[in-house]
């Protein structure tokens, strides 16, 4: 059997979330929140929520996360909602990124859903 090297960068979920939050901040994402859901979710360890000023900004934030993830060899599983840009979900395996138009963020209330989970200092 061949020794297969790991394809993606190995890092703690918290470190990845901090890095992604930094990328979002670089692109002027607003109200960035990182939530540690590892003890409450079987789907992911960290959830990041960020507001965008408009559809183009939301798409640009999501694309920038994907570009930076590719540069740093961070695993990317999927992206949803990019066509409309109102709510874009970027799945980086152990970190989910929710990019919302600000007016929709309160409606979906992701932070409220995870109110019991600790927020990460970013």
Residues 43-67 have pLDDT tens digits of: 999 999 999 999 999 999 999 999 9
What is the pLDDT at residue 52?
Answer: 98
Flag whether 3 is in a domain: no
Report helix angle 13-26 to 55-71, nearest 10: 130
The answer to whether residue 120 is domain-embedded is: no
Lowest-confidence region among 23-27, 33-37, 68-72, 118-122: 118-122
Domain around 47 = 13-113
Q: Tell me the average pLDDT across 33-41.
A: 96
Q: In this structure, what token pair is assigned to residue 97?
A: 């990124």
67 part of a folded domain: yes
pLDDT at 1: 44
pLDDT at residue 7 greater than cutoff 90: no
Stated pTM of the model: 0.90
Contact 33, 106 (CB under 8 A): no
- Is 5 a member of any domain? no
CATH code for the domain of 18: 3.30.460.10
In a domain, 102, yes or no: yes
**Number of domains into which the chain is organized:** 1
Closest residue by Cα to residue 108 from 83, 81, 76: 81
Query: What proportion of the chain, given as a percentage, has pLDDT over 90?
Result: 88
Confirm whether 20 is domain-assigned. yes
């Amino acid at each position: 059997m061949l020794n297969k090297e790991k394809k993606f960068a190995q890092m703690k979920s918290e470190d990845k979330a901090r890095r992604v939050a930094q990328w979002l901040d670089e692109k002027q994402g607003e109200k960035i929140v990182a939530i540690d859901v590892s003890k409450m979710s079987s789907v992911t360890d960290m959830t990041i929520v960020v507001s965008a000023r408009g559809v183009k900004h939301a798409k640009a934030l999501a694309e920038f996360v994907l570009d930076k993830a590719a540069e740093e060899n961070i695993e990317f599983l999927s992206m949803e909602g990019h066509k409309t840009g109102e709510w874009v979900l970027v799945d980086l395996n152990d970190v989910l990124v929710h990019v919302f138009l600000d007016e929709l963020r309160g409606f979906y209330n992701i932070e409220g859903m995870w109110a019991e989970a600790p927020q990460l200092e970013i």
